[in-house]
Chain A
Amino acid sequence: MNEVEPDDASNEHARRSAIFRAAHKRLDPIDGPRALGHKRSALQAQKRRQPVNWPVGLLKTNGPRDSLLVSTDGTISFAIRRGISGVFVEKRCCPITGPRSSHLMVFESQSNFDRWCDLEPTRFNEPLLCDKLRRRGHELFSIHD
């Protein structure tokens, strides 16, 4: 009869509990993110009030003629650059709470761009930002034409 040494037994137990834990973690569905406890939620909320460099945007603004225009509170930004088919604009919204979003669109003509600028709700809270965006767009359209 093979006797299990105490060391072997504890190793075996550790191995089995690790396997159980691994299997348990794998079964845990990814689409149900864990709700944080009260303290941890508060800490996370505090962290979120600080600016976070989180990549929600798609459009790169590395070129000399590209611009990234950011609102005073940093929650709204517009990336703008010239492309082959027109001027590409990406509106990024990263509010303190709620979903982060980015919308990428292209304007083939300056009149369409102006119409959109006239409707853009940011013009009420950030008139200077919208003005800058409009001027930058016009510059890019003049280069394009």
Chain B
Amino acid sequence: MTESPDRVQEVDTPTVSAEVLELLAGFSEADSPERALELLRRVLQMMGIESAVFLSAIKDDASRTSIRSLLACDPRWTVEYSQVDWYDHDPWLRHAMESQTPIRGTELQIRPSERAFIETASTIGFASSLVVPAPTSFGSARFGVLVLGSSDASYFDCNGSPLVSIAARALAMEIHEWLLRTVRDDLLEVSGLTPVEIDLLRHEAAGHTSKMIAAEANVKPPTVDGWFQRVNAKLNAPDRRTAMRIARLYGLI
């Protein structure tokens, strides 16, 4: 049986249904990365979108960034991505750092150093793309980006439904929220920070000095400094301010 042209058109258009929204709600209950990735794949399937990648970047300190990604696309993407230091030449990440507006891949201002990225991405399922930033209140220190892709070069240019963009935005924010919750829990587990130490970091965030904290806790200031040294060691931070920054970035305080 052959499909009518109308039917083919229907299948080739990204769609947003109530089921998609129900699936999005599932991210808040996803208890593992496998579950989150499966949810992402199901949402894409329901929307009729071929591939997607979600990237989250956290600037841990001046010289170090952590990038985490969920891939629902050709796995060659990770090979290419890690092979040529794409982090520095990724126009999707750059767009997410500079803007919070979803944009089609064709609308991106591509720099000469980013051309190789775009050319390679187009061969692995991102010939046409929709770049959806997932911003946070921490600006370029913590942000995410969801990129939806298709091997059809005109897919997102022809199917520019605002509903797709809205659903993609919701999807990006849900994944980002899930991911931040996961990394926060992991950091808590690995560092072994106690509630008292987290309170100490809250004091630091409020700008309280050792003397002020010591007066409140009825101890001497050097004792407070000692507490901070332990916290710094647990968070692998050179000083208490960096420790507080890490705690804020990872949502501990």
A-to-B contact residues, CB < 8 Å: 14, 18, 21-26, 29-31, 33-36, 40-41, 43-44, 47, 52-56, 58-60, 81, 83-85, 88, 90-91, 93, 97-107, 112, 116, 119-121
B67 at the A/B interface (Cβ < 8 Å)? Answer: yes
Contact flags (1/0) for B32-72 with A, using CB distance below 8 Å?
11100110010000000000000000010111111111110
Q: What are 16 A-B pairs at a CB distance below 8 A?
A: A21-B207, A25-B207, A31-B138, A34-B241, A54-B190, A54-B236, A55-B183, A58-B186, A98-B87, A101-B68, A102-B69, A103-B71, A104-B70, A105-B71, A106-B37, A119-B76
Interchain residue pairs A-B with the least CB separation, the first 5? A22-B207, A31-B139, A31-B141, A55-B186, A103-B78
Complex Cα–Cα for A77 and B33 (A): 17
Query: Contact at B139–A107, with CB atoms within 8 Å?
Result: no
B2 at the A/B interface (Cβ < 8 Å)? Answer: no
Query: Contact at A30–B34, with CB atoms within 8 Å?
Result: no
| Centre residue among A25, A98, A103 by max chain B CB count within 10 A | A103
Stretch of B148-156, B220-228, B242-250 lying at the A interface: B242-250
B165 at the A/B interface (Cβ < 8 Å)? Answer: no
Query: Contact at B38–A84, with CB atoms within 8 Å?
Result: yes
Classify chain B's interface size.
Answer: 35 or more
A22's closest neighbor in chain B, by CB?
B207
Complex Cα–Cα for A53 and B235 (A): 10
Complex Cα–Cα for A33 and B214 (A): 27
Query: Contact at B68–A56, with CB atoms within 8 Å?
Result: yes
Complex Cα–Cα for A86 and B206 (A): 47
